Amino acid sequence: MEQKQMLGEVIYLKIAPAQPELAGKITGMLLEMDNQELIHLLETPDAMNGKVNEALAVLHEYAQKDEAAANA
């Protein structure tokens, strides 16, 4: 649990410059992965960017559905 907290803090700091408003939400999504995978993301910038982009796509899709439901 403590390792997860530390990983979360480091991941947040990596994401925040590019996605300041969504960094917390994206970090939370990534923290559902196991610690070894998270360490891999921290060691491999391309893998981290890919996962961040996946999370952004999911959030964007969710926002669109939410907006469509609100307008229905």
Q: What's the CA gap between 61 and 39, in Å, rounded?
A: 27
Range of the domain at 32: 2-71
The pLDDT profile of the chain, 72 residues, written as one tens digit per residue, is: 799 999 999 999 999 999 999 999 999 999 999 999 999 999 999 999 999 999 999 999 988 887 788 887
Q: What's the CA gap between 48 and 58, in Å, rounded?
A: 15
- How many domains would you assign to the chain? 1
Q: What's the CA gap between 12 and 17, in Å, rounded?
A: 9
User: How far lies 20's CA from each of 16, 24, 57, in Å?
Assistant: 4, 8, 16
**Domain CATH code at residue 32:** 1.10.1900.10
pTM of the model: 0.86
Q: What's the CA gap between 23 and 7, in Å, rounded?
A: 14
